[in-house]
Structure 1
Amino acid sequence: MTVASTPMNLTQPAHVGISVSDLDASIAFYSALTGRDPVARGTMDSVPFGGSQGLPTARLRYATINLDGLGIDLIEFQEPRGERTNGRANRPGSMHLCFKVDDFDEVYRRMKEAGHDFLGEDYTFLAGEVTPDEALGTKVAYFNDPDGTNLEIIQPKGGFAR
């Protein structure tokens, strides 16, 4: 695919859409994770909407949970049903959603106590491993939602604001 080098200036995030296999289970997971309930829930049954997504039709259930500055759209496609991607972080096309926290150690501890399975141990960026130096001391940990979507918590340090 060739993309023109003219800037499009797309700098205002609106939402991230996450395809899920069980909307009710995902609402429970993300509501517990964020402390927020859905602001919208509904259904859609549309050939034109499916076409806009490259699908023959789209029959789905959805819910939106709003964070500060970003919505999480949870979408359960009922027709056509999709297959789980079992995405790993290193697979092209995979993505992750990162949650910024103020007290990493406290949030990490509470999440472990609540039963979240992290993909590995928490990690702090060290000298010689990462640039810019402003990222040194940043803490991260990765985990998955019930469908295997990659999620992260981060406590940035210094001028490494993300």
Structure 2
Amino acid sequence: MSDVAASRAEQSPNSAVELAHHGITVTDLEASARFFCEVLGLEAAPRIDLDEAFSAGVTGVAEARISVVFMQGPGVAVELLQYHGPDDRRSVDARPCDAGAAHLALYVDDLRHVVSSAAAHGWTPMGAVEPITTGPRAGGLAVYLADPSGAVLELVQRPSGVRGSTMRRT
């Protein structure tokens, strides 16, 4: 835990102290894990089949049957979830502008190469690769990708001379 997070936790028991992971529900757990490994360079932990009583209790979804693969990389923790029940589950068709829509944003070194590699795994651009023209990432590139089940990633290539998440110029 960072010093700032520890300080906040001491001040208030209601403080978030660290990001645990970003969860993404997918339709094909193995294919999604391959994408995150082969294209984004994350490492996969072994598949886990969660206890049905726990799954239903924590999610509030009756008859939830879930398989999970945790993906890990530098500063990145992603939980891929595939629900095998209930039988009435459906896909989300939210656009980035729709309330409740969510996405995971990741920094990559060569955005155009990653976009090209992602296509072989079914991830396609939702728009164009765009130069970032304002803010601390000005000079970088960004694009949103979606997989066939509706999961959304934003990929960002930092501008030259910028390192780390604080976006300080070196």
TM category (shorter chain) comes to 0.7 to 0.9
> Would you say how many aligned residue pairs link Structure 1 and Structure 2?
152
Distance (whole Å) between structure 2 residues aligned to residue 72 and residue 156 of structure 1 = 21
Any conservation in 1 of the 2:104–2:152 contact (CA below 8 Å)? Answer: yes
TM-score, length-scaled by structure 2: 0.74
Could you say which residue in structure 2 is the equivalent of 1:154? 156
Q: What amino acid maps onto 2:146 in structure 1? A: N
Which string of whole-angstrom CA distances, capped at 9 and with x for unpartnered residues, describes residues 54-112 of structure 1?
11232121111112123211111112142000221111111111110233344445556
Report sequence identity in percent.
26
Distance (whole Å) between structure 2 residues aligned to residue 110 and residue 42 of structure 1 = 27
Compare relative contact order (CA 8 Å, sep 6+) and give the higher one, 1 or 2. Answer: 1
Any conservation in 2 of the 1:98–1:152 contact (CA below 8 Å)? Answer: yes
Q: 1:42 aligns with which of 41, 48, 51?
A: 48
- Alpha carbons of structure 1 residues 79 and 33: separation in structure 2 relative to 1, 3 Å: same
Q: 2:103 aligns with which of 71, 85, 96?
A: 96
Query: Runs of 5+ in structure 2 lacking a partner?
Result: 1-11
SS of corresponding position for 2:124? coil
Superposition CA RMSD, Å:
2.8
Query: Runs of 5+ in structure 1 lacking a partner?
Result: 1-5
- Alpha carbons of structure 1 residues 135 and 7: separation in structure 2 relative to 1, 3 Å: farther
Distance (whole Å) between structure 2 residues aligned to residue 114 and residue 149 of structure 1 = 13
Q: What amino acid maps onto 2:20 in structure 1? A: A
Q: What amino acid maps onto 1:94 in structure 2? A: A
Distance (whole Å) between structure 2 residues aligned to residue 18 and residue 139 of structure 1 = 24
- Alpha carbons of structure 1 residues 26 and 102: separation in structure 2 relative to 1, 3 Å: closer
